[in-house]
Amino acid sequence: MKNQRRCFCNFLQANNILCGIQEENGKIVLGKLIELLKRHCPELDIDRTRKEIESREAIFPTMVAPGLAIPHARIPGLPEALTAVACIPQGCDFGGSTKAKVMVLLLTPVDDPNLHIQLLSALAAEFEDPAVTEKIANFASAQDVLNHFSCGLGTIPDYLKAADLMEKFPKMLQETDSILDAVKIFATTQTSELPVVDNTGDLRGILSLADLLKYSLPEHLLWLEDLSPIYQLQPFSDMLKTADETKVADVMREEFISANVDDPAVKLAKTFLINNLSRLVILDNDGRPAGVVSLKNFSAKLFWD
């Protein structure tokens, strides 16, 4: 069984591949793929499958890259993973900013999150280059598609790693950046924590929104029972007056908990729980910041993505 999970092509059959699709409506293309899998898996409930996919789509859109859609769902009672591929040279509308030229339908057993995330990660890595999407979209035959994935592409590791779950930092801070620079980044991104690097790219520390609050509100103020003297947020006002002069290096944390890109996902779960963390910095093999895994996103990928 372990060897069967080594490559995406192990889950793909030529008769589950459609090439040269001219349909512009992505929902119709999706329906064709579901019906295709139904022919080869009679126990598949078409209505329930579509409902599972659409409910998931409402939370997390499946246009994961330009030209690529991976509608997917975890199906109760499914004995094994099922995949189907549609190649749409001119593209179809599927709720993204670009048209879907390749649609990969992925259905996995609800009780096998490792396989589900591994297949998604393998596909994301395979289609990282838009040229690959364009190439596959224009394949003339199902055998061409199958041959592409049979060349060792879409390889699936034995277990989930931190690299499979992390998101890249939107930006990184330099030690010489000011607090004002950091505030602007926090205000224009969804992140609440940023790595601080030196001019060689080495990690020097971490700065979070909580660190900025702590810097603005010294510990002795936290012991006050009567906060009326600072109802007008004077400590924060004082901080902002010098925000363009105070360096990130003066506020960042130099001690923090991290994980390596190659650490197994289960180790991340242990680290989250033991240290009561909401976010975990991931380092590459040179000790430089590679990305971050939040407890929320970790749980999303594990339980419902």
Share of the chain above pLDDT 70, in %: 91
- Cα(140)–Cα(177) distance, integer angstroms: 53
Average pLDDT over residues 251-277: 94
Q: What is the pLDDT of residue 304?
A: 67
- Cα(298)–Cα(98) distance, integer angstroms: 27
The 10s digit of each residue's pLDDT in 49-88 is 999 898 888 777 788 888 999 999 998 888 889 999 999 9
**pTM of structure:** 0.71
Is the pLDDT confidence value at 260 over 50?
A: yes
Model confidence at 144, in pLDDT bands (50, 70, 90)?
Answer: very high
The residue length of the chain stands at 305
Is the pLDDT confidence value at 6 over 70?
A: no
- Cα(208)–Cα(292) distance, integer angstroms: 13
The DSSP annotation for 244-258 comes to TTSBGGGTSBS---E
Q: What is the pLDDT of residue 301?
A: 79
Query: Any idea which of 118-122, 189-193, 199-203, 231-235 has the lowest mean pLDDT?
Result: 231-235
- State the residue for tokens 């990660």: 121
The 10s digit of each residue's pLDDT in 198-211 is 988 899 999 999 89
Phi, psi values for residue 107, rounded to 5° = -120, 130
Q: What is the pLDDT of residue 117?
A: 84
Selection from 225, 248, 230 nearest residue 177 by Cα = 248
Residue 39 structure tokens: 């022919």
Q: Which residues contact 23 (CB under 8 A, 6 or more apart)?
A: 29, 32, 88, 92
The 10s digit of each residue's pLDDT in 27-41 is 999 999 999 999 888
Query: Any idea which of 49-63, 161-175, 227-241 has the lowest mean pLDDT?
Result: 227-241
Query: Any idea which of 7-11, 19-23, 127-131 has the lowest mean pLDDT?
Result: 7-11
Q: What is the pLDDT of residue 241?
A: 79
DSSP category for residue 112: -
Q: What is the pLDDT of residue 33?
A: 96
The residue ranking higher by pLDDT, 105 or 150, is 105
CB 172 within 8 Å of CB 196? yes
DSSP category for residue 225: S
Q: What is the pLDDT of residue 154?
A: 56
Class (C level, CATH) for 3-158: alpha beta
CB 105 within 8 Å of CB 91? no
Is the pLDDT confidence value at 10 over 90?
A: no
What fold is seen in the domain 173-303? CBS-domain (3.10.580)
The 10s digit of each residue's pLDDT in 86-139 is 999 999 999 877 899 999 999 999 888 888 888 888 888 788 889 999 999 999
Ordered by start, the domain boundaries in the chain are: 3-158, 173-303
- Cα(277)–Cα(263) distance, integer angstroms: 17
